[in-house]
Structure 1
Amino acid sequence: MNNTVYSVITGTGNYLPEKRVKNDDFLDNDFYEKNGKKILSPNQEIIDKFLEITTIAERRYITDDLTTSDMASYAAAQAVESADIDKEDLDYIIVAHNFGDIRHDNKQVNIVPSLAARVKYNLKIKNPFTVAYDLPFGCPGWLQGVIQADYFIKSGDAEKILVIGAETLSRISDPHDRDCMLYADGAGAVVLEAEKSDDPVGILAHKTRSDTFLYSKMLYMGKSYKPEKADKGDLFLKMNGRRLYQYALETVPQAIKDCLEKSNTHISEVKKVLIHQANGKMDDAILKRLYGLYDIAEIPGNVMPMTIAYLGNSSVATIPTLLDLILRNKLEDNTISKGDILAFASVGAGMNINSLVYKM
């Protein structure tokens, strides 16, 4: 008996903002091209094409009275309750985000103190040895936080870690850029604990890559596409969508396969592929190419559960929210049982990619 230490998810939680924003809510927007020229196509045509490309029909926006750390705290409280642990026993609180606590009336980045410190305060944790810090890593930030937690647990440095992904993309998106319809807000969280086991369980393997030399500028902060608004100097999230799509399709499937091989797992053993919900059609193409790497033409049904059609792209929050919804039986026709193997993957600003194989 070797009693190997594994990192196991014992609790999950999420926060979905109350405000629902449908595609028709963008009918009155003035959309512009990157060069500042107004798009003359009717907005209904723009929206219909957007839906066809992304599968997004609805998204959630945070209400004016809340910030990212508020959402993170709500999701964290759920996860701690779900894990049935004493919050004072947490060794780390890791919060993945990219834009901090941007208020509805002020777009200045607000990250002092860190969002993790704010979450710790909101949870009323008094233990000075619960170390709280933030992790900005693009959309793969939450998954990278889980990977860091695994290192802490495997090294013996920690036994209980709270990892949160929270983001408010609605407040840094340009209403005059068609890409603004992609973005959403939300938060998801997990508690990971050390578990000794003779049989592999929890996190089996993970891999991360950063292609910054060639692709660091595919997601960036830039001025509004509307000329009059650009002069004001405010910066908004911008994306080279076509190149990003191509990059993700070329690299993410192989990254997942490499991670599966690292854990000695074949794709046929995977019950669910939980991928960052960035673009419905892109994720479908990634999955098809992943199975193609194994010369499998017929993809199992429901292997990749999706929420993007009605929750949009909430960056670091998409995967933990998805996981929590499944575990709470709130995603129709999708269940996860003990012994199931999950493959996680994300891609985002950096450009960064990570993947993780997990056994329930």
Structure 2
Amino acid sequence: MSSPQTYRSRITAIGSYVPERRLTNADLEQLVDTNDEWIVQRTGIRERRICGPEQYTSDLCIGAVQNLLDRYPVTLDDVELILVCTSTPDFTFPSTACLVQTHFGIPQTTAWDLCAACAGFVYGLNVANGMIASGVHRKVLVIGAEALSKITDYTDRTTCILFGDGAGAVLIERDTDGGGPASFLAYTGGSDGSGGKHLYNAYTAKSWSGQELAGAAGKLVQNGREVYKFAVQTVPRGVEELLRQTGLTAAEIDWFVPHSANLRIIESVCEKTGIPLEKTLHTIEQFGNTSAATIPLAIDQAVRAGQLKEGDRLLLFGFGGGFVYGGLLLQWRALPH
């Protein structure tokens, strides 16, 4: 019996969008007991982008997809799956992906949301690649988007300094260049649900293992110390696993794209993995922590700046609420003009 045929996939277009409104450290000084020096020293963040009152995650998604369409010679009519990676959907249902589908009038497409917090976009890329590799789909639209300002408690000085809003979108298609190099090289992922009590948004649950939950209903709650500990232990192990799978060394990675949670986390991970900070793509300074949107935003900024070259190896790594984590090693292919 012959083995089922598998297909390669590649990214063919990328786009991003952030709201116009800026929330600077100086603005936060007017809200809580904090200051610019304290925020920069501990997080590296200088400003964030914040949604307007009538702007939601679906609007950010639509902005990112429209940016993608404006920049590349691609169409959406034959997209077979829309996957929106978000922890801040407009509604529980309908999915944010369905709102994107109806806005662009995409026919005959599956549409669903994926909730994996700050690892969401990496999870989404892996799902899309799997769908294409198995022959289920030929063309997938993956979006990482968050309107975290909607669930941020602006009276909590430990969390409100961190989070912002934004979206990034990529089109992933079956690679018709059969002789070309593979784009998706390796994946690793996992979870530790016992860490959920350290980073959560409680809509309905009132307790965790019998203990009453802290924080305002519907607002994000984070134990920063525990999240830091999880990240600096888990990400280096995940990087090591990706390198083991591919037989590569840290020196052979061209660009490291970690989730932009906190610059101090990124610095620690770089030190532990041996990947120079100069090879790191992040958006922490100007956009803050945008959860599932940080990685696509960082990649798109590098594309716009002309930093990514054909054949560059990108190591993506997301981590966050759950606790969950996911890493992906990509070989960059030049995008069509």
TM-score, with normalisation over the residues of structure 1? 0.83
Q: Distance in 2 between matches of 1:231 and 1:150?
A: 38
Q: Which amino acid aligns with 1:84?
A: P
Matches within 5 A, 1:19-168: 19-30=21-32, 43-44=34-35, 47-101=36-90, 110-125=91-106, 127-128=107-108, 130-168=109-147
Q: Distance in 1 between matches of 2:51 and 2:166?
A: 7
Q: For structure 2, list consecutive stretches of 5 or more residues without a partner in the other structure.
A: 204-212, 333-337
Equivalent residue in structure 1 for 2:19, among 17, 20, 26: 17
- Offset of 1:169 from its aligned partner? 0.7
For 2:285, the equivalent position in structure 1 comes to 309
Contact 2:168 2:293 in 1 (8 A): yes
Q: Which amino acid aligns with 2:65?
A: A
Describe the shift of the 1:231–1:324 C-alpha distance in structure 2 as closer, same or farther (beyond 3 A).
closer
- Offset of 1:235 from its aligned partner? 2.7
Q: Which amino acid aligns with 2:81?
A: Y
For 1:6, the equivalent position in structure 2 comes to 8
1:254 paired to 2:243: no
1:323 paired to 2:286: no
- Offset of 1:301 from its aligned partner? 5.8
Q: Which amino acid aligns with 2:103?
A: N
Q: Distance in 2 between matches of 1:234 and 1:183?
A: 18
Q: Which amino acid aligns with 1:344?
A: L
Describe the shift of the 1:289–1:301 C-alpha distance in structure 2 as closer, same or farther (beyond 3 A).
closer
Q: For each residue in 1:228-266, what CA deviation from the matched residue of structure 2 results, as whole angstroms up to 9, or x when unmatched? A: xx9996431010110110111111111011012212222
- Offset of 1:302 from its aligned partner? 2.2
Equivalent residue in structure 1 for 2:197, among 217, 225, 229: 217
Q: For each residue in 1:197-243, what CA deviation from the matched residue of structure 2 results, as whole angstroms up to 9, or x when unmatched? A: 3353211111111111x3121111269xxxxxx99964310101101
Describe the shift of the 1:270–1:134 C-alpha distance in structure 2 as closer, same or farther (beyond 3 A).
same
1:182 paired to 2:162: yes
For 1:357, the equivalent position in structure 2 comes to 329
Matches within 5 A, 1:215-254: 215-221=195-201, 234-254=217-237
Q: Distance in 2 between matches of 1:68 and 1:7?
A: 27
Describe the shift of the 1:220–1:232 C-alpha distance in structure 2 as closer, same or farther (beyond 3 A).
closer
Describe the shift of the 1:301–1:347 C-alpha distance in structure 2 as closer, same or farther (beyond 3 A).
closer
Equivalent residue in structure 1 for 2:246, among 263, 272, 293: 263
Aligned to 1:319, the other structure's residue is in SS state: helix
Q: Distance in 1 between matches of 2:128 and 2:214?
A: 43
Contact 2:168 2:297 in 1 (8 A): yes
Contact 2:118 2:320 in 1 (8 A): yes
Describe the shift of the 1:185–1:346 C-alpha distance in structure 2 as closer, same or farther (beyond 3 A).
same
Contact 1:345 1:353 in 2 (8 A): yes
- For these two proteins, the number of residue pairs brought into alignment is 317
Equivalent residue in structure 1 for 2:257, among 252, 259, 274: 274
Q: Distance in 2 between matches of 1:9 and 1:341?
A: 14
Contact 2:13 2:74 in 1 (8 A): no
Describe the shift of the 1:252–1:325 C-alpha distance in structure 2 as closer, same or farther (beyond 3 A).
same
- Offset of 1:167 from its aligned partner? 0.5
Aligned to 1:181, the other structure's residue is in SS state: coil
- Offset of 1:30 from its aligned partner? 4.2
Q: Distance in 2 between matches of 1:61 and 1:68?
A: 11
Aligned to 1:60, the other structure's residue is in SS state: strand
Q: Which amino acid aligns with 2:323?
A: M
Aligned to 1:201, the other structure's residue is in SS state: coil
Q: Distance in 1 between matches of 2:316 and 2:215?
A: 40
Aligned to 1:277, the other structure's residue is in SS state: coil
Describe the shift of the 1:311–1:150 C-alpha distance in structure 2 as closer, same or farther (beyond 3 A).
same
| Root mean square deviation, CA, Å | 2.1
Aligned to 2:281, the other structure's residue is in SS state: coil
For 1:104, the equivalent position in structure 2 comes to none
Q: Distance in 2 between matches of 1:115 and 1:203?
A: 26
Greater mean deviation of Cα atoms: 7-16 or 258-267: 258-267
Q: Which amino acid aligns with 2:52?
A: T
Contact 1:4 1:197 in 2 (8 A): no
TM-score, with normalisation over the residues of structure 2? 0.89
